[in-house]
Structure 1
Amino acid sequence: MDEVIYKARKFTLVRRAREVGGRIIWGEYLVHPGAVAVLALTGGKAVLVRQFRPALKSWTIEIPAGTLDGGESPEEAAVREMIEETGYKPLRLTPLLDFYPSPGISNELIRIFYADELEYVGIGRRDPGEIDMEVLLKEPGEVLRAIISGEVKDSKTIIAFLAAKEKGLL
C-alpha cells in the first residue's frame, strides 16, 4: 500500500507499508521512472559532461545521462540525452549494464549503454539547469585514473568505465 507524500517532476515520494515478522513497518521511498546513461567514444575519446549538481553544491564530471520521459524507450531516451547534452547522436547503442543506484531509498533503475559510432548533430535543447554544462572529450585511461584518484565520484560514470574496461571495450 502506497501513500503519496509528494509528487515532483522526476520522482514521487511515497510512504509504503510492508509486513515484517507479523508487524507492519512503514518507510518512505522515491518512485522513479528510470534513467539512462551512455558511455560514448568518438575518435577514441570518451564524451563526458561537466555540470553543476545543486544537491552537491559543486561540479561533477559524468557520462551523459537523464530520466526517461513518459512512454519513451531507454534507447530513445539515450539518443535524446546524448543530443541534448553533447550534440552527439549515437548511431548504435549496445547495452552495457543496468543498476540500482540507491536501492535502500529508491526504485530507480539506470540503464547504461555503450556507443562508439557517433554523429555530431549539434547540441539540442537542454534543461534550464544544464545551460552551463560543458562537453569534455577525454582519453579513457585519463578518466579511469580520475576515478581511482577520487576526482570522478559519479556512480554511473564509475560503473560504466569499470564495466567497459572489464568487457574489453576500453
Structure 2
Amino acid sequence: MIEYKNAWFSVIRNGKYYFIDEPKSSDSSAILLRWKNKIVLVEQYRPAIRKLSIEIPRGYAEPGESSIDCAIREVNEETGFSITKNMLTTLGYLNPNSAILTSRVTIHYGHIDDSQNQKPVSTEINRCIFATYNEFCSMVLSGTITDGFTISAFALAMLKTDMEKTMSQL
C-alpha cells in the first residue's frame, strides 16, 4: 500500500514493513573519475544529513535516458568536464540500502583526458576537489568522506582495475 508519493519516490507499507521505492533509480549513475591522476570529487550540501558532503558525481536519469547517458550529463553538470561513452566503463551496481530502498544504481569508472580543462560547475555543487590516491584514502579513513556511493565505487574500482598501481604513481 502506498503511504506517500512524490515525483522522486513512494513510501510503501507491506504489512509491518515500510520501504522507499525510487523508480527513477534504475538508470541512475554514480561516476568515479580520474583526471590528471587525481580522483574527481564534488562538494555539495545534502539536506538529509544537514551538512556538506564530499562525493563522486551522481544523479537520476531523465525519462528515456540510459545510465551511460545519465553519467555523461551528470559529470558535465556537476564538474564541467565533457566525457563520452568510450571514456566510461561500467563497474557494477549498488543497492545503497537494501533494507529500506528499492534503488539500484550503476557505478561507472572513467578517465578524463589530461588535456581537458575544467569549466565552471553548476550552482548545485559548491566546488570540485581533486584528490590523489593517498589523499582520497586519508579522507575516507578520517571520516571526511562518508558517502556510501563514493566509498563503494572506489572499492569496486580497486577490485576490478589496477587503480591502486595507477594512482600510486603520483
**TM-score, length-scaled by structure 1:** 0.83
Q: In the TM superposition, what are the counterparts of 1:48-59 in structure 2 within 5 Å?
A: 48-59=41-52
Q: Residue 57 of structure 2 contacts residue 78 of structure 2 at CA under 8 Å; is this kept in 1?
A: yes
What RMSD over aligned residues (CA atoms) do the two structures have, in Å? 1.9
Could you tell me how far 1:162 is from its partner in structure 2? 2.0
Give 1:76's match in structure 2, choosing from 58, 69, 75. 69
Could you tell me how far 1:8 is from its partner in structure 2? 1.9
Q: Distance in 1 between matches of 2:10 and 2:117?
A: 35
1:135 corresponds to which residue?
128
Q: Distance in 2 between matches of 1:101 and 1:120?
A: 32
Q: Residue 46 of structure 2 contacts residue 53 of structure 2 at CA under 8 Å; is this kept in 1?
A: yes
Q: Distance in 1 between matches of 2:103 and 2:78?
A: 21
Give 1:31's match in structure 2, choosing from 21, 36, 39. 21
1:15 has 2:13 as partner:
yes
1:149 has 2:142 as partner:
yes
Task: Choose 27-36 or 73-82, whichever is displaced more.
Answer: 27-36
Q: Distance in 2 between matches of 1:144 and 1:138?
A: 9
Q: Distance in 2 between matches of 1:10 and 1:139?
A: 34
Runs of 5+ in structure 1 lacking a partner? 17-24
Q: Distance in 1 between matches of 2:97 and 2:5?
A: 19
1:116 corresponds to which residue?
111
Task: Choose 45-54 or 139-148, whichever is displaced more.
Answer: 139-148
Kindly indicate whether structure 1 or structure 2 has the higher relative contact order, using CA contacts under 8 Å at least 6 residues apart.
2
Could you tell me how far 1:123 is from its partner in structure 2? 4.8
Structure with the higher fraction of residues in strand conformation: 1
Structure with the higher fraction of residues in helix conformation: 2
**TM-score, length-scaled by structure 2:** 0.83
Letter in 2 for 1:159: S
Report percent identity of matched pairs.
Answer: 29
Q: Residue 79 of structure 2 contacts residue 118 of structure 2 at CA under 8 Å; is this kept in 1?
A: no
Q: Residue 83 of structure 1 contacts residue 123 of structure 1 at CA under 8 Å; is this kept in 2?
A: no
Q: Distance in 1 between matches of 2:75 and 2:140?
A: 22
Could you tell me how far 1:133 is from its partner in structure 2? 2.2
Change (3 A) 1:82 1:103: same
1:5 corresponds to which residue?
3
Q: Per the alignment, in what secondary structure is the counterpart of residue 93 of structure 2?
A: strand
Q: Distance in 1 between matches of 2:48 and 2:20?
A: 16
